[in-house]
Amino acid sequence: MQKSTFTVANRSAGEWLSSLPTVVILLLTIFLTSGEVIHSQLLKIGENTWQGYFELRTSGLVAEPSCNQDPDIELELRRAIQEKEAAMIDDPLAGIFGTDIDEDAMRQSLQSSRDICRERWAFFERVQERVTPGVIMYRNLETGVAAVVTTLGNYKRLMLCVLILICAATATLARHHIALRPARTNKDHYIGTSAQLLANLTLLMSATVYRSQEQLSMDQGVQVHDFYLHVFWMAGFSLLSLINLYQLIRPPKNLEPGGGWGKALLTIPLYSFMCLAAGAQFISQGYYHGISVYLGMMMELSTLFLNLALYIWIGMMLKQTRLAELAFDVLRPWNMSPELMCFVVLALAAFPTAFTGASGIFIIAAGAVIYTELTRAGARKQLALAATAMSGSMGVVLRPCLLVVIIAALNRSVTTNELFDSGFKVYLLSVVLFFVFSQFYRTQPSRIAAFSDAVPKSIRALAPLAPYALVIVAIAVFFRDVLDRGTDEFSAPIILPLMLIGVLLYEKLSKHVAHIAAAGLAVLLAVSFWRIFNGQVAEADVTGLVVRNVLVLGILVSNYLFSTTPLHETHVMPNQGEIGKSMESSLRLATNETTGHIGALLILMALSVSTGGIIERSGLMEQLPETFANIWVATSILVVTMVIIGMIMDPYGAVILVNATIAQVAFANGIDPLHFWMITLVSFELGYLTPPVALNHLLARQVIGDDEVESAKIPRGQASFMRRHEKYILPILVMLTALLLVSYLPLAFPDLHGWMFQKAAGGAL
């Protein structure tokens, strides 16, 4: 964000108007999801405390029955017969259907009504007799939590809409939108900003027309949901247009004069390209509100995209910690050759990539540290750039990546368990391929320090990480044992932010946070062992729980042994950005960065969905034959198609398009659903790294710095073509080979297919 000279309470206007609303929405999202877990636990606690709590909680909420539990059946029967006879007299059709009255049937009906009434009275009296002031107080708490969670749940679409618009406005003001190159000259500025203005006006037109169309539908009696959102979209796109107009009138003062038309076109944000292309296509079809319709489709997945915003926040908080730096401290004693260091970094970086939900977020959070450490280890700048870009791709197939969760949510042909199990095998294949190709690219012999020298130093370097592990594990165990929620792909968006906040509390506030976490963890372990010894744990879960407790106990002991070990001196990381010195400043800086990145990524994803709409409505997918000559031809055509989609579209929008169109063609041609989605994910990984967009390279450039990336270029004549473009060629070779192997080898070898794509017996978890 750009600095503002106007401050209130030591906060800039941008922080009050963008960062504050953003963090409020993110915290509400955490509360909404965790509130559902808490409410579930409150119900369990209530049932364990008061037998029949589900009945008792209705006290005061269910009115006293108004029926008579002891009526005079014969009197009621005579009254009913008289009413029936009177009705038949006035009914001209009564003779057609008969005039006989079945008194026995009417008597049985009255007796059944009496029995039902008595049951209602018995239930009411039973509740009234057992209810206590304690039950009432607890019920009020439990139902209050349920009411708040339900109310917030009804406004998730509004939360996502406001979040996108506020963050998009922030990214526009900060000129932070994702483009193929940054704006440096006057011509760059005017071309890029004019294109943004035209795109935002197109969005405003689409939103206005869509509102008019839905208003007409409402006038005709058609039910329309969330009609009020149109006002927010129109106001937001109007604000974005006004910002662009102001920027055209008041350009930045640090722009260079001149510039070329070709390079200026590359400064147009990718979302503007997508918007203008989609808008032109829809307008030519008379479908003026098409973009807004597809924005509404994005709102249908509001929970997933709000979780993605949380993952971005997680990544920015990770950037404020020393975790990445301390992890490299463990690797430094091994004195590995550059290629070997890149291999180890990629193998390890895949796991935090998976936990940050999407490839680009981890690059934004740790890309600068990775690049700096690799160059410090002697890696060529081109190799370091390649590894930095790839660090955000390897983990896309690992648990608990949000992209995989979206795939499982969109269709029932695969489960998250199946996808993650197969994904881990694909990850191992990709890592091995990188090692092989990097060895062909090496310029010096491989090296690694002697084990006798490196192992003791690495163990000592692990000491500062012990308190971090303690804080993280304490939070994970609390959720698992107290709230009955493990850390998986569904709970990660709410648990990981709390873990990062705990780490920041330890780093920035007080080292005693680790002692508090240790005390809490010791209590949780004691309770866990007590439950095991008293038979309160299912037999099937005992072994796993004991193993977990032993490992956690080891972390507790390690923290006790190494608690006096001083932290290593902080290394200065170029291009890492501003790092807060206090808890408050770190959270503030993380949120400020989060706001810009959410705006850049989510608006790109939103327009990517519309781009998918162009392809869907163009009929291109319908031109694909429903059946091909054989499965090999079908796989080949689908692979090429998905790589092209992955090269030009954001993965989240691409998944929606692929699920709606290509997936059904694949299944109809005998491609196993699990095999198909693995091909899709690897295709997207390749697309992240392949021009013309190469999103991972664009994000790496944002955090490393344009000047540093430019300095990595090798003039023609000083090196071979392969060496000059190593940052693109090496990742493409690795991922293309992985894609070909994943696509075709399982078709050739049925046993390999069965091993790679095993169906899960238990379904999704």
Span 718-741, pLDDT tens digits: 888 888 899 999 999 999 999 999
Tell me the mean pLDDT in the region 572-581. Answer: 62
Percent of the residues in the chain that have a pLDDT greater than 90, as a whole number: 38
Domain final residue, candidates 546, 577, 608: 577
Tell me the mean pLDDT in the region 385-397. Answer: 89
In angstroms, the Cα distances linking 351 to 317, 357, 427 are 17, 10, 10
Q: Are residues 464 and 534 in the same domain?
A: yes
Cis peptide before 692 (omega within 30 of 0): yes
Q: Are residues 266 and 360 in the same domain?
A: no
Q: What does the pLDDT read at residue 100?
A: 64
Q: 406 and 306 in contact (C-beta within 8 Å)?
A: no
Mean pLDDT, the chain, as a whole number? Answer: 86
Q: Are residues 623 and 752 in the same domain?
A: yes
Q: Are residues 562 and 623 in the same domain?
A: no
Q: Are residues 159 and 294 in the same domain?
A: yes
| Domain assignment present for 255 | yes
Tell me the mean pLDDT in the region 170-174. Answer: 93
Domain final residue, candidates 518, 549, 577: 577
DSSP element (H, E) containing 8? strand 7-8
What is the CB neighbour count within 10 angstroms for residue 633? 12
| Domain assignment present for 172 | yes
Q: What does the pLDDT read at residue 10?
A: 67
Q: What does the pLDDT read at residue 239?
A: 96
Q: Are residues 227 and 259 in the same domain?
A: yes
User: For 490, which DSSP code?
Assistant: T
User: Which backbone phi and psi does 566 adopt, to 5 degrees?
Assistant: -70, 145
Domain final residue, candidates 539, 561, 596: 596
| Domain assignment present for 31 | no
Rounded to the nearest 10°, the torsion over CA 626, 627, 631, 633 is -80
**What pTM, to 2 d.p., does this model score?**
0.84
Q: Are residues 624 and 673 in the same domain?
A: yes
What is the C-alpha separation between 765 and 621, in angstroms, rounded?
33
Whether residue 515 is predicted with pLDDT greater than 90 in this model: the reply is no
Amino acid at 39: H
| Domain assignment present for 193 | yes
| Domain assignment present for 17 | no
| Domain assignment present for 311 | no
Q: Are residues 170 and 196 in the same domain?
A: yes
- The CA R_g of the chain, rounded to the nearest whole Å, is 31
Amino acid at 54: F
Q: What does the pLDDT read at residue 1?
A: 41
Please tell me which of 94-103, 193-202, 576-585 the model is most confident about, judged by mean pLDDT. Answer: 193-202
Whether residue 765 is predicted with pLDDT greater than 80 in this model: the reply is no
Q: Are residues 175 and 144 in the same domain?
A: no
| Joined tokens for residue 340 | 């070997």
Q: 702 and 360 in contact (C-beta within 8 Å)?
A: no
Q: How many domains does the chain have?
A: 4
Tell me the mean pLDDT in the region 698-724. Answer: 86
Q: Are residues 624 and 761 in the same domain?
A: yes
Residue 585 domain boundaries: 155-300+581-596
Q: Are residues 462 and 491 in the same domain?
A: yes
| Domain assignment present for 704 | yes
Whether residue 763 is predicted with pLDDT greater than 50 in this model: the reply is no
Q: Are residues 333 and 254 in the same domain?
A: no
| Domain assignment present for 226 | yes
Min mean pLDDT across 27-31, 440-444, 541-545, 746-750 is at 440-444
Strand, helix or coil for residue 281: helix
Whether residue 69 is predicted with pLDDT greater than 70 in this model: the reply is yes
